[in-house]
Amino acid sequence: MHFVAGNWKMNLDRKSALALVSALRERAGQRTDLEIAVFPPFVYLDEVARSLAGSRIQLGGQNCCDEEKGAFTGEVSAAMLRDVGAGWVLLGHSERRHLYGESDALIQAKVQRALSSGLRVMLCVGETLGEREAKRTEAVIGAQLKAGLQGVKAADLDRMAVAYEPVWAIGTGVNATTAQASEAHAYLRGVLSGLYTPAQARGMRILYGGSVKAANAAELMRAPDVDGCLVGGASLEASSFLGIIDGAPRL
Ligand code: PGA
């Protein structure tokens, strides 16, 4: 089943967040042919969870702490995300890696903490423009994937998804072509086959992210090995996000 996820990043306010969620719930809240999730800022999770109650739209946090609890001012734990009704957490987003210096080791620790707290994890990987130009895309995304999955048992794979998000495509309006996305996704699928079994690798959803909008989503999501999309800017308005949802391949 395809998966369409909206990463709100540090956008929207309480009122617009709730208005967006109520429009999504009304128009797409009972879809059974597609998985849909939203990732609001921490402070709105609780209210968004209440608003989504009874719908099939899932909820996630954009980050979590690698530590369980304690003196970590400003951090939010995986258990807290669960406590307010989030089922997912986004880890390794390029903004966390590049703006906040999160290392592969830290992301790996967060993945472990999130899984042991009962969360599902959407692990993001992606190369910069310089890395792509230097023909290092596969080396970079392969290393990020392997590091993030280190210690993840096969039994936990059904609680993992991967998002391939080339850094040069995020928020730039320049999306990867379907060929570029397919190539990267096929490579990641191959890495997963090596780490687990080919059947387990096939079962893992690999989403594409980076300047996805209603106009390009359907084509991207029909590309081989692209199992959905992670949407930033175009997930902030009901009309554009619903346009993407409506373009997703059905079961
Ligand atoms: P964008 O962001 O859709 O605004 O490019 C995607 C993301 O960072 O998840």
35 is catalytic: no
165 is catalytic: yes
Average the pLDDT over 26-46 and give the result: 97
Separation of first and last alpha carbons in the chain: 6
Residue-wise DSSP of 184-236: HHHHHHHHHHHHS-HHHHHHSEEEEESS--HHHHHHHHHSTT--EEEESGGGS
Quick one: which atom of ligand 1 is closest to the CA of 213? 3
Average the pLDDT over 86-112 and give the result: 98
pLDDT band (50, 70, 90) for residue 250: confident
pLDDT, one tens digit per residue, over 168-208 is 999 999 999 999 999 999 999 999 999 999 999 999 999 99
Q: CB within 8 A of 132, min separation 6: which ones? A: 166, 168
Q: Phi and psi dihedrals of 233, rounded to 5?
A: -50, -45
Check pLDDT > 80 for residue 116.
yes
User: Which residues of the chain form beta strands (DSSP E)?
Assistant: 3-7, 35-39, 58-61, 88-91, 120-125, 160-164, 205-209, 228-231
Average the pLDDT over 83-90 and give the result: 98
> What pLDDT sits at residue 10?
98
**What percent of the chain stands above pLDDT 70?**
100
> What pLDDT sits at residue 237?
98
> What pLDDT sits at residue 173?
94
> What pLDDT sits at residue 109?
98
Shortest-distance Cα residue to atom 7 of ligand 1: 232
Q: Which residues line ligand 1 (CB under 6 A)?
A: 7, 165, 170-171, 209-212, 230-234
CA angle 77, 46, 214 (to 5 degrees): 100
pLDDT band (50, 70, 90) for residue 244: very high
Q: Please provide the average confidence, as pLDDT, over all residues in the chain.
A: 97
Average the pLDDT over 107-125 and give the result: 98
The pick from 212, 220, 236, 237 for probing ligand 1's pocket by mutation, whose C-beta has the most ligand atoms within 8 angstroms, reads: 212
How far apart are alpha carbons 239 and 219 in whole angstroms? 18
> What pLDDT sits at residue 142?
98
Check pLDDT > 80 for residue 21.
yes
Cα of 170 to ligand 1 centre, how many Å?
5
How far apart are alpha carbons 134 and 217 in whole angstroms? 28
> What pLDDT sits at residue 132?
97
> What pLDDT sits at residue 179?
97
